[in-house]
A and B are shown apart, each in its own frame.
Chain A
Amino acid sequence: MCKAVAFVTYKEWSAYRTHSLVSVFVGPVYFMVQYFICTAIYGGNITLGGLEFEQTVRYFGASALIGYLTMDFADWNLQMLVRTGKFLTFTLRPMHHRFFALSQKIGHRVLGFFLEFLPCLFIFALLFKVEIIPRYMGWTVLSVALAFLMNFYVNYCLGMTAFYFVQANGIRVVYQLLGSIFSGALIPLSFFPEVIQRIMMFLPFQYTNYIPAMVWTGNNSIGEMGMTIPQAVLYQGIAVIFTALLSEVIYRSSIKRFTAVGA
Chain B
Amino acid sequence: MRYIKIYLACLHTAFSRAAAYRLDFVLGNLITLLSNIIFPLATVLIYANGARFSGWTMWEVLLIQSVFSMSNALASMISGSVLWVTMDSIQAGSFETVLLKPLSPLFFIAAANFDTGSIGLFLGGLAMTVISASFTGICGTGGILLFLLMFISGAAVMCGLDLIMAAISFKWVGNSRIPEIFDSIKEFGKYPMGIFPRSVQVLSSLILPVSAVGFFPASALLGRLDIRSLISVLPCMLFLLFGVWIYNRMIKIYEGVGG
Name the A residues within 8 Å of B35 (CB-CB). Answer: 176-177, 180
B12 at the binding interface (Cβ < 8 Å) = no
User: Which residues of chain B are near A176, meaning CB under 8 Å?
Assistant: 35
Chain A residues in 8 Å Cβ range of B52: 41, 43
How far, in whole Å, are A212 and B54 apart by their CA atoms in the complex?
31
Given A18-B175, A22-B180, A187:B42 Cβ within 8 A = yes
Q: Which residues of A contact B185 (CB under 8 A)?
A: 29
Q: Could you tell me how many residues of chain B have their Cβ less than 8 Å away from some Cβ of chain A?
A: 36
Judged by a CB distance under 8 angstroms, whether B41 is at the interface is yes
Question: A-facing mask of B187-198, CB < 8 A → 1, else 0?
Answer: 110011011110
Q: Would you give the 0/1 interface string for B7-44, flagging 1 where the beta carbon is closer than 8 Å to chain A? A: 00000000000000000000100010011001101100
Residues of B with C-beta under 8 A to A181:
38, 41
Give 1 or 0 for each of A6-18: 1 = CB within 8 Å of chain B CB. Answer: 0000000000001
Q: Is A40 an interface residue (CB 8 A)?
A: yes
Q: Are A26 and B53 in contact (CB under 8 A)?
A: no
B33-86 interface (Cβ within 8 A of A) = 34-35, 38-39, 41-42, 45-46, 48-54
**B54–A26 contact, CB under 8 A?**
no
Q: Mark contacts of B82-106 with chain A using CB atoms, 8 A cut-off: 1 yes-contact digit, 0 otherwise.
A: 0000000000000000000000000
Q: Which residues of B contact A2 (CB under 8 A)?
A: none
Inter-subunit contact A33/B188 (CB<8 Å): yes
A114 touches B (CB below 8 Å) = no
**Is A30 an interface position by the 8 A CB rule?**
yes
Q: Does A77 contact B (CB under 8 A)?
A: no
Q: How far is the CB of A158 from chain B (nearest CB, A)?
A: 16
- How many A residues are at the interface, by size bracket? 20 to 34
Contact A45 B50 (CB under 8 A): yes
Q: For residues 21 through 59 of chain A, which have their beta carbon under 8 Å from a beta carbon of chain B?
A: 22, 25-26, 29-30, 33, 36-37, 39-43, 45, 48-49
CB distance from B181 to the nearest CB of A (A): 6
Contact check, A33 vs B50: say whether CB atoms are below 8 A apart.
Answer: no
- A3 CB within 8 Å of chain B: no
* B75: min CB distance to chain A, Å: 20
- When chains A and B are docked, how far (Å) is the Cα of A173 from the Cα of B177? 18
Name the distance in Å between B121's Cβ and chain A's nearest Cβ.
14
Chain B interface mostly = helix
Asked whether A26 and B180 contact (CB < 8 A) given A33-B187, A40-B195, the answer is yes
Query: Are the CB atoms of B45 and A173 closer together than 8 Å?
Result: no
Given A30-B187, A45-B50, A186-B39, residue A192 in contact with residue B195 (CB < 8 A): no
With contacts A33-B191, A177-B34, A181-B41 taken as known, whether A40 is within 8 angstroms of B53 at the C-beta atoms is yes
Partner of B181, one of A22, A39, A180: A22
B3 interfacial contact with A, CB 8 Å: no
Contact at B54–A40, with CB atoms within 8 Å? yes
Q: Which residues of B contact A187 (CB under 8 A)?
A: 41-42, 45-46
The distance from the CB of A59 to the nearest CB of chain B, in whole angstroms, is 13
Apart from the given pairs A37-B191, A42-B51, 14 other A-B contacts in the complex at a CB distance below 8 Å:
A18-B172, A26-B183, A29-B184, A29-B185, A33-B191, A36-B200, A39-B195, A40-B194, A43-B51, A45-B50, A176-B35, A186-B38, A186-B39, A186-B42
**5 A–B pairs (Cβ distance < 8 Å), ordered by A:** A22-B175, A33-B187, A40-B191, A181-B41, A187-B42
Q: Which of A22, A30, A43, A192 contacts B177 (CB 8 A)?
A: A22
Q: Is the CB of B54 within 8 A of A29?
A: no
Q: Separation in Å of the B152 CB from the closest CB of chain A?
A: 25
* Residue in chain B with minimal CB distance to A28: B184
A19 at the interface (CB under 8 A from B): yes
What's the nearest-Cβ distance from chain B to residue A195, in Å? 13
> How far in angstroms is the closest Cβ of chain B from A58?
18
Which residue of chain B lies nearest to A188 when distances are taken between CB atoms in the complex?
B45
6 tightest CB-CB pairs across the interface, nearest first?
A: A40-B195, A41-B51, A29-B184, A22-B177, A191-B45, A33-B187
A170 within 8 A of B: yes
Q: Which residue of A lies closest to B56 (CB)?
A: A40
List chain B residues, Cβ under 8 A from A41: 46, 51-53
| A206 CA to B33 CA, complexed, in Å | 24
Query: Which residue on A lies nearest to B192, using beta carbons?
Result: A40
List the B residue with the shortest CB-CB distance to A192.
B45
The answer to whether B31 touches A173 (Cβ under 8 A) is yes
What is the distance, in angstroms, from A3's C-beta to the closest C-beta of chain B? 28
Residue among B52, B53, B177 having the largest count of chain A Cβ atoms under 10 Å:
B177
CA distance in complex: A191, B42 (Å)? 9
Bound together, the chains give a CA A41 to CA B46 distance in angstroms of 8
Smallest CB separation, B53 vs chain A (Å): 5
Q: Within 8 Å CB of A43, what residues of B? A: 51-52, 54
